Structure formats: C-alpha cells, structure tokens
Amino acid sequence: MAGESARTRWAADALFAVALVVLIAAAYSPALKHAPRADQWAYLADTAQCHGFWPLLAESYSYNRTRVIGAGDTDLFRPLLFVLIASEKYLFGGDFRIVQGIGIGLHCCVCFLLLALLRRIGATGTPSTESDPRPDLLPYGVVAFFGLNPYVQELVIWHHLHGYLLFLVLLLGSVVCLLRHVATDGEPARRRWLCGAWVLALGSAFAYELGQVYAVLAGLLLAATAYPRAGRAAAARVLAAFVAILLIYQSANAIDRRVHEGRYDPDDGNRQAIREHALAPRTAMNAVHFGVYTAVQPFFPAAFRWTYSFDRFLVAEGVWYGAGMRTLGPVQVVSYGVFATAAGLAVVGLFRLVWSGGRVPVLTLLLATGLYGAYAAGNVLGRLNVRTSPPQLVVNSYYAYTGLLFVLMCLAAAWRGVSREWQWAAGARAGLLAGLTALSLAGAEHVREAGSGMALKVRDHAVPLRAVQEFVTQHRGEADFSFAIDYDASDPIPHQWNYPITELVFSRWSDWSAPKYRVVVRGEKVLTAPTRSSRANR
C-alpha cells in the first residue's frame, strides 16, 4: 500500500513537472529573442580578445578583479558564476536563443528542486512521507506560483545572471540532501546524502558568497540533529566539516586577491560606506523596502509595472507606492486572500512548532529564515544603503527571485506545524492552493507580455546579431573561416563601448586584414562576397 502511494505521488509529480515546463516555456518564449544588455556588454568588450577557451577562462573566473570597463565590487569572488558565463560565450557565441534557453532551463531546475524540498519539509518529523496516503497538492501551487511569478523574471531573462541560478540549483540540491540525511536511518545512505550536501554546498559558495553563510547554517543544523543521536563528538565533526567550506572559500579568495594584486583597486571606499551607514536610519527603512519588495509584492500581480531603462528590466515598487492597489479587482481580492491565508497558516504553524518542540522542523525553519536574513542584510547594507540613485530595488529587480524563494521556504517550514487532519486547516490549504494557482496564471500572462515588450525594446540589437549568427553557423566549420563587415554599406548597427556590437560578439571570427568573406548586414540577412584572396585561391 505504501509503495503504491509512493508511485502515485511520483507519477503526479512527474505530470506536474511536465505541465509546469510547458507553462514556463510558453510564458518565457519571447525572451528567446532578447539580446545582451547592461553589464554583459562590458564583459563582452573586456574579453573580446580572448578567442580560445583557456584564455577566456583565465580572464573570466575572477572577473570582478580583471574587469576594465565599469570596474567595481572587487571584494567579490564568484569563480563558478563567471566560469558559466565564459562557457556560454565560448560554446554558443552569438546564438543567444540557446543561452536564453539555458536560463529558462535553469529556472525549471530551481522549480523542480523547490518541489523536492517542499516534499522533504513536509516529511520532517514524521516516520515517512508514505504514512499519509492523501496527496498533498499545496506544493504544486507554491512551485507554480514561484515559477510563473512576474516579479522574478529578470534573473531568468538576463543571461548575464545565470550564475545566480546555478548557485540556487546547488544550494537547493544541498538542502534536499541535508534533509534526506537527517531522515535516513541506514548509515551508508546517511553518509552518501551528507557527502552530497557538502559537495553541493562547496559549489554554492564558489558561485555566490552567500553559499558560505549557508554552509555554516547547514553545519549548525546537522550538529543540532546529530548531538542527541550520536553525541557531542559527532556533532562537532559535522559542524567542522561544513565550517571548513567557509575557510576553503576564504583561502581561495585570499590567494586570488594576491594573484591579481595590482590589476584592481580594493573596495576600501565601499567597505567604509557600508560601515558608516550600517546603523543609520536608512538601514531600517531600506530593510522594510526590501521585505515588501521580495516577500509581499510578489503576491500582487495587479501591481506589476515594468519599464526598460539603464539597459535593464526595471520593476517598480508597486505595492509600496500603491500602484494598482487602489482598484479592488478580482485578482486583487485573490491576492489579499492568498497573502492573509499564507501568513495566518505560518503564524499558527510557528506557534505549534515552538510549542511541540519538533527539532528538525524548527531547525529547517531557522535555516530558511537565516538564508533570507543573510540575503536581505547583504543587499540592504551593500547595495541599498550605499547606492541611492537610481533606486537599487527597481534597477536590480532580480533580487526578488532569491528573496521570494527563501520566503516560500520559510512559509513551507512554518506550515509544517499545521496538521492536515484539522478540518479548518484542510479548508485553508485548499483555498490557498486555488488562490496560488489563479495568481500563477495571472503571473504567466504578465511574464509573456513583459518578455514580448522587452523583445521589442532590444530588437535593434537582436536583429543584426541573429543575422550574423546565422551566417557564422553556416560557415564556422570552415578551417580558414573569417569575415569582415562593411559597416558603411550595412544597415546601422548599434554600438556599445565605442564598438559595433557585432565586433564584440563575433570577435573570434572577425578579421580586417585578410578576411575570407566581406559581408553586408541588411535587415535580418547577411549578404556575402568572397574576398579577392579567396577567389584567387580557387
């Protein structure tokens, strides 16, 4: 009976995953027509001379310290993040449809791991997930709500940010392994899950510095669960193993600073500004802004307002300033109902968890809360406090992605304290599921509309890049392939950092001295003619 229930749950999860992929693909498909923007142009310009993979990797892995155009944030060391960006550039060149597709694929992976994590959270404190034969459908609503939320889309559609998605894949995978380790009885299996959690945590630290914080929090959780089961020595060993991730990262960071010494200006001024403003009144106000932007606003798709400026996808603080909040339409009614129900269940569940003293559910909630708190603190102190213009939340709307993800983890952990056997709770969960589903569909419409609007905004960049990429795809297999664009005879091509964008993207094959082809870009086509030297060689 238990095995049959597990198979049914797996089949339902697989069916949901397929449906979610279809919906995400439909909502995000306009993003396949997007072009590079903002910081991506600086990266392409700085690495235009790197034609081989290893030179590109050497110039990219510590890009915050090798960056020339728009240099800054040199305290940050994110090698895995930039290795991913370098790999995409080398493998796919100017085929940004594939690169954008990778972002959508990584977003789907985050959603699947979120579903797996919600399943594990729902199983904490019980002998097995199979003990309750009734299907728990609420995780489907939570994941769909996140996957189709319009406020998080910048992290998906701007391919310069793919490293953050990779970080979240590694982090969520580690958390799932960690909870599986805690719930497993057999020692060999427990060791495997623990090793998986450690390796993924190490990878997350080298993708984004928040991974260090997660490693320490994970070590504390594991030590707290190991102490009553295996004693003080075992708890100390597992804590030391995960704290070692912080030491490994910081050691690598110190070595890299020494390697690149003289190539960058240390962020002394930024660190001083962070210290000066940390205890200022603006910190509290910015923390409230951040909380509303990441934990409240995503529940209100009717307040969604976007524009394109500073070469970025800007999302207004609609809830804070009341945009779309004064008209009480059907979507707004659902939003208020969903938010109130989610918060109410979380409060009740929190009290129940504290009262019952369930160690693992409480520790899971503390882990999720610690992640959100650390993420909020880093952005409030390091961004919102020191960069006041333009508004950092609006310009960096992708903060909402990671913030909302951690909020949903906190809610799910708190909901664990509310028994599904309570009649009122079952009704509340059913209503919450229906509301989240409705908000997901409303959000998907906003995602598609915004993606289509962005495609029009960047069309002048995307069209010539697609045309040249098609030409490159046709000829890059030729051993002596190279080309030069006749810009005087071509349609106007946008410039970035004083270079035509086609030179930045396709520098590997651009040759002005002796090109095999001279081409003209007209609309969405490239007209070609062999050079004199290539005709003579025939």
Would residue 105 count as lying in a domain?
no
3-state secondary structure of 365: helix
DSSP per position, 451-465: HHHHHHHTHHHHHHH
Would residue 63 count as lying in a domain?
no
Would residue 490 count as lying in a domain?
yes
Would residue 200 count as lying in a domain?
no
Question: 505: domain range?
Answer: 477-529
> Distance between CA 505 and CA 383 in Å, rounded?
30
Q: What is the pLDDT of residue 262?
A: 86
> What is the count of structural domains for the chain?
1
The length of the chain is 538
Q: What is the pLDDT of residue 4?
A: 55
Q: What is the pLDDT of residue 406?
A: 98
Interhelix angle 96-123/399-415, rounded to 10 degrees, is: 20
> pLDDT per position in the chain (538 positions), as tens?
455 567 788 889 999 999 999 999 999 999 999 999 999 999 999 999 999 999 999 999 999 999 999 888 888 999 999 999 999 999 999 999 999 999 999 999 999 999 999 999 988 754 333 345 567 899 999 999 999 999 999 999 999 999 999 999 999 999 999 999 988 887 888 899 999 999 999 999 999 999 999 999 999 999 998 877 778 888 999 999 999 999 999 999 999 999 998 888 877 657 777 787 778 888 999 999 999 999 999 999 999 999 999 899 999 998 888 876 777 889 999 999 999 999 999 999 998 888 876 778 888 999 999 999 999 999 999 888 888 777 889 999 999 999 999 999 999 999 988 877 788 888 999 999 999 999 999 999 999 999 999 999 999 999 999 999 999 999 988 988 999 999 999 999 999 999 999 999 999 999 988 899 999 999 889 998 766 454 443 3
Contact 325, 319 (CB under 8 A): yes
- Using the structure block, give the residue that is written with the tokens 């930039």: 82
Would residue 515 count as lying in a domain?
yes
Q: What is the pLDDT of residue 420?
A: 75
Would residue 8 count as lying in a domain?
no
pTM: 0.93
Would residue 212 count as lying in a domain?
no
Would residue 57 count as lying in a domain?
no
Q: What is the pLDDT of residue 126?
A: 46
Q: What is the pLDDT of residue 315?
A: 95
CA 166, distance to chain mean position in Å, is 7
| Nearest residue to 454 (alpha-carbon basis) of 24, 39, 33, 26 | 33
Q: What is the pLDDT of residue 356?
A: 77
Q: What is the pLDDT of residue 1?
A: 44
Residues 6+ apart with CB under 8 A from 187: none
Q: What is the pLDDT of residue 530?
A: 63
| Nearest residue to 307 (alpha-carbon basis) of 148, 449, 101 | 449
